[in-house]
Amino acid sequence: MSTSLALYGGKPAVSHPPTYSWPPITESDIALVTQLLQRKELSYYGREGEVQELEDAFKSYFNVRYTLAMSSGTAALHSAFFGLGLGPGDEVLAPTFTFLSTVMPIFVVNALPILVDAETDTGNIDPVDIERRITSGTKALVITHMQGHACHMPAIMDLVRKYRLRLIEDCSHAHGASCQGQLLGTFGDASVFSLQGSKLVAAGQGGILLTNDQEIYERATLLGHFKVRAMEEVTSEKYRRFSGTGYGLNYRMHPLAAGLAKEQFKRLDTYLKGRNDNLLYLSSRLKGIPGITPPVVRDYVTRHAWFTYRPFFQPDELGGLSLQTYLKALQAEGVPIQKAASQPLHVEPLFQVEDDHSYTYGRTTPGISTPARQRYQQGDFPQAEQYARSTCTLPPFTEPMPQVMDQFAEAFSKVAEQAHRLQEREKT
Ligand SMILES: Cc1ncc(COP(=O)(O)O)c(C=O)c1O
């Protein structure tokens, strides 16, 4: 029989609850940023310095022709949609369950996002629902490898070939993750990685676009990297005359951010090993404990990136215990578990209210009467809603800590064994 629950004054199962803070900052990170400050290396106009080094590092890791560092992942996504030439009249299939930046820039190019349901076990875009929503207007598909678990790339690439879709991968949770041995970010026409502070390669703020397609690269360069960089890099007959002005935005990355990201990127494989060692071990320990099911890892995943760890709460296995009480009991034991907060996009007001054209950017092309957005309602994507409802989240502990994972597992067992006590108290 386990000891009394920490919630009721017993000894917590986790002796020293770990704190999670990201990213790890080393002496070499500090030295590099300090040197840049001392040299007053604070902006670049061309492809140079820390930006160039970061882009070259991504280029060789992913073996792609072009990389373009940006001020954010959102800017990189906008540049990808623009780079592909998507615009009025084009439908872009996109996951309802993703971070908003995967979808919102589609509006900025005046194309139409068509939301797609999620798989109930991974939270990733569902290939079956992708196919259902393809029309004669569908031009492209954007996918997000949620939490660093690869989307179902075998099925998705079949659809991309069958319907001649352009593919954009949002790899913001999935730096260095792979599917059947192939790195995520190398399947699409363009792929994007956010380098925001919580990401595996953290610049603080930043993003990067990868492509093998010269036209996508040149259009993305013109959109946000005018003058010197565009003049150096945009060489095609069609586009080079626009280098002097670009197409209107400044999406350049800050050198300090690029320097930090370059240092973090050197440690990516170590980070991934740490997360996989900890979290796959935790999953093996949680198997069979009532009340919780570890996150699913499909057999095509050859490397997971664990942006977060999302197990499923199973109240039926604990006699209908409420999630709130379950989480309170685990937190008292020292497990930093929470209800996953992210909701699918279709429940957001922007996707539910009448189209008022209040947010269209620029003029739409005459003769094209595509609505600016589709309206959805709660219940339209039941699988995404189910995934969002049933998942909890733990931070992706990256330093090796098998003993802590053991203690987490003990805490889950202890709470499951004494769920009846928690429930009795719930009733009083
Ligand atoms: C899946 C996904 N896509 C895109 C972004 C946007 O990146 P950024 O914050 O760098 O603009 C994020 C970031 O938080 C994200 O999680």
Give the residue among 194, 211, 172 at the shortest CA–CA distance from 73. Answer: 194
Which pLDDT value is given to residue 127?
98
Which pLDDT value is given to residue 428?
75
Q: What is the DSSP string of 294-361?
A: PPP--TTEEE---SSB-PEE-GGGGTT--HHHHHHHHHHHT---EE-----GGGSGGGTS----TT--
Which ligand 1 atom is nearest residue 198's CA?
A: 14
Which pLDDT value is given to residue 64?
98
What is the pLDDT tens value at each position of the chain, 428 positions in all?
Answer: 568 999 999 999 999 999 999 999 999 999 999 999 999 999 999 999 999 999 999 999 999 999 999 999 999 999 999 999 999 999 999 999 999 999 999 999 999 999 999 999 999 999 999 999 999 999 999 999 999 999 999 999 999 999 999 999 999 999 999 999 999 999 999 999 999 999 999 999 999 999 999 999 999 999 999 999 999 999 999 999 999 999 999 999 999 999 999 999 999 999 999 999 999 999 999 999 999 999 999 999 999 999 999 999 999 999 999 999 999 999 999 999 999 999 999 999 889 877 666 666 655 555 655 566 788 999 999 999 999 999 999 999 999 999 999 999 999 999 999 999 999 888 87
Residue 72 falls inside a structural domain = yes
The residue contributing the CA closest to ligand 1 atom 4 is: 101
Domain that holds residue 221: 27-265
The residue contributing the CA closest to ligand 1 atom 7 is: 73
Which pLDDT value is given to residue 258?
98
Q: Could you tell me the distance, in angstroms and rounded to a whole number, from the CA of residue 223 to the centre of ligand 1? A: 19
Residue 5 falls inside a structural domain = no
Which ligand 1 atom is nearest residue 74's CA?
A: 11
Q: Could you tell me the distance, in angstroms and rounded to a whole number, from the CA of residue 267 to the centre of ligand 1? A: 21
Residue 207 falls inside a structural domain = yes
Q: How many CB atoms lie within 10 A of CB 252?
A: 20
Which ligand 1 atom is nearest residue 146's CA?
A: 1
- Cα dist from 246 to 111, 119, 242, 387, whole Å: 21, 40, 6, 42
Structural domains of the chain, count:
1
Q: Could you tell me the distance, in angstroms and rounded to a whole number, from the CA of residue 311 to the centre of ligand 1? A: 22
Which ligand 1 atom is nearest residue 72's CA?
A: 10
Q: Could you tell me the distance, in angstroms and rounded to a whole number, from the CA of residue 391 to the centre of ligand 1? A: 20
Q: What is the DSSP string of 55-100?
A: HHHHHHHHT-SEEEEES-HHHHHHHHHHHTT--TT-EEEEESSS-G
Residue 22 falls inside a structural domain = no
Residue 99 falls inside a structural domain = yes
Residue 182 falls inside a structural domain = yes
Which pLDDT value is given to residue 364?
57
Q: Could you tell me the distance, in angstroms and rounded to a whole number, from the CA of residue 194 to the centre of ligand 1? A: 5
Which ligand 1 atom is nearest residue 144's CA?
A: 1
- Token pair recorded at residue 284: 């093996």
Which pLDDT value is given to residue 8?
96
Give residue ranges with CB within 6 A of ligand 1: 72-74, 98-99, 101-102, 144, 170, 172-173, 194, 196, 207
Residue 41 falls inside a structural domain = yes
Please state, in angstroms and rounded to a whole number, the distance separating the CA atoms of residues 418 and 340: 24
User: Is 262 in contact with 53 (CB distance < 8 Å)?
Assistant: yes
Distance of CA 339 to the CA centre of its chain: 18
The residue contributing the CA closest to ligand 1 atom 10 is: 73
Q: Could you tell me the distance, in angstroms and rounded to a whole number, from the CA of residue 230 to the centre of ligand 1? A: 25
Q: Could you tell me the distance, in angstroms and rounded to a whole number, from the CA of residue 222 to the centre of ligand 1? A: 22
Q: Could you tell me the distance, in angstroms and rounded to a whole number, from the CA of residue 87 to the centre of ligand 1? A: 22
Residue 314 falls inside a structural domain = no
Q: How many CB atoms lie within 10 A of CB 371?
A: 9
CATH number at residue 63: 3.40.640.10
Q: Classify burial at 251, counting beta carbons within 10 Å of its beta carbon; exposed 0-12, middle 13-18, buried 19 or more.
A: buried
The residue contributing the CA closest to ligand 1 atom 8 is: 73
Q: Could you tell me the distance, in angstroms and rounded to a whole number, from the CA of residue 371 to the centre of ligand 1? A: 26
- Token pair recorded at residue 404: 């802590």
Q: Is the previous residue joined to 23 through a cis bond, with omega within 30 degrees of 0?
A: yes
Strand order in the sheet with 207-211: 66-70, 207-211, 190-194, 166-170, 138-144, 91-95, 112-116
User: Is 92 in contact with 116 (CB distance < 8 Å)?
Assistant: no
Q: To test the ligand 1 pocket, which listed residue (81, 172, 205) has its Cβ within 8 A of the most ligand atoms? A: 172
